[in-house]
Amino acid sequence: MNTIRKNIAKLLALTLLLTLTFSCERFNRNNLEKAIAEMNKECPQRMEGMGTFLGGELKENMVIFKYKFIQENFELVKDGWKSRSKEESTEMMAMSFVSQAKENKSTARVVDQILNAGCGLRLQYAGEDNDADKVIIEISNEQLRKAKLEYANATPEEMALKAVKAQISNTKARLPEKVDEMTQMVDCELQEGYVVMTYEVDDTKVDFSILEAQKDNIKKSIFAESELSDQMKGAAFEDYRKADLGVKYIYKAKKAGRSLEIKFESHELPRATQASSKIRMNRINR
């Protein structure tokens, strides 16, 4: 009789535990659905200099965030995704997503509820010119949790360095890249405290000695206001400064083999405006 009573007690305890577990999961899922609905009230959101965040939805155990990027930026995302291993790209995107989500309270709440509900995250990117061409990145709950923890523990300098390394990786994936009729970018690397960008100049079309003579003027023009109008470029400069990195521009004459180096120390880099140092998200008036 005692054995029967013990078994019944165990069964009741197990039933109660399962009921509580199910109720907790249902509660977390409901909170996630509410958080997504609140976030979607602010959508679509324009990401200045990048594109548009269209909103999110919950499908089974995956939260899907949909983006439509300016075509040029979409190509950068696609090139960056292809240039790295799936594991490396997913880890990088998880960290990037967590850091950007901090800038938007409703998105940050969704991230917290995703973690509570044990769901994963799917980032779906498309270009403005072709909806059918997509980059889809799936981040597991564990990967998202790890990224959030790393972000919380990382210093601003460490986060900036991670961002710089990602930028360099994305840039290298699309090289060589034509700049104008006489110049193409051929390399980009992190080297002894500097981001080094190397350009090849066709010195059959331009007198390289003129470039050498105009070195000071070229240096002044590199960070002209028109250069800083690009949101992504402004954010990159901000990351260089935070990571205490200088920048070197190296121009090499294709035929003569001569080179011209223009160097900026970290403290010389311009401070990006608030608009360009962060990818701000604004609701689009509908």
Asked whether the predicted pLDDT for residue 178 surpasses 90, the reply is no
- The pLDDT tens digits for 56-76 are 999 989 999 999 988 887 887
* Cα–Cα distance, 22 to 34 (Å, whole number): 18
Predicted pLDDT of residue 4: 53
Strand segments, DSSP code E, in the chain are: 45-47, 51-59, 62-69, 120-127, 130-139, 177-178, 183-191, 194-201, 246-253, 259-264, 281-283
Least confident of 38-42, 180-184, 228-232, 281-285: 281-285
pLDDT for 158 equals 87
pLDDT at 97: 82
Amino acid 277: pLDDT: 33
Q: Looking at per-residue confidence, does 151 or 183 come out higher?
A: 183
Q: Which residue has the higher pLDDT, 27 or 279?
A: 27
Q: Among positive and negative, which fits the CA dihedral 109, 112, 116, 121?
A: positive
Residue 90 has pLDDT above 50, yes or no: yes
Q: What number is the average pLDDT over the span 116-126?
A: 92
What's the pLDDT at 29? 85
For 32-44, the three-class secondary structure string (H helix, E strand, C coil) is HHHHHHHHHCCCC
Tell whether the model's pLDDT for residue 21 goes beyond 70.
Answer: no
Provide the pLDDT for residue 247. 93
Name the β-bridge partners of 58: 63
**Beta-strand relationship, 120-127 and 130-139:** antiparallel
What percent of the chain shows pLDDT beyond 90? 32
Residue 257, pLDDT score: 86
Whole-number Å distance between alpha carbons of 173 and 159: 22
Residue 76 and residue 64: Cα distance in Å, rounded? 21
Q: How many C-beta atoms lie closer than 10 Å to residue 65's C-beta?
A: 22
Query: For position 11, what pLDDT does the model report?
Result: 43
The answer on pLDDT for 20 being more than 70 is no
Beta bridge partners of 281: 47
Cα→Cα distances 49→72, 82, 161, 231, 236, Å: 10, 22, 22, 5, 13
Tens digits of per-residue pLDDT, 243-272?
999 999 999 999 888 999 999 999 888 765
22-31, 224-233, 259-268: range with lowest mean pLDDT: 224-233
Q: Tens digit of pLDDT for each residue in 188-227?
A: 999 999 999 999 999 999 899 988 998 888 888 876 644 4
Q: Closest by alpha carbon to 87, among 146, 37, 10?
A: 146
pLDDT of residue 91: 83
Say which range, 45-49, 218-222, 226-230, has the weakest mean pLDDT: 226-230
Best mean pLDDT range from 69-78, 160-169, 182-191: 182-191
- Which helix (H) or strand (E) segment is 232 a member of? helix 231-242
pLDDT at 228: 45
Q: Name all domains of the chain by residue range, CATH numbers in brackets.
A: 10-153 (3.30.300.250), 171-277 (3.30.300.250)
* pLDDT of the residue at 26: 60
Predicted pLDDT of residue 128: 86
Task: Label residue 124 by pLDDT band (50, 70, 90).
Answer: very high
Nearest Cα residue to 239 out of 261, 265, 271? 271
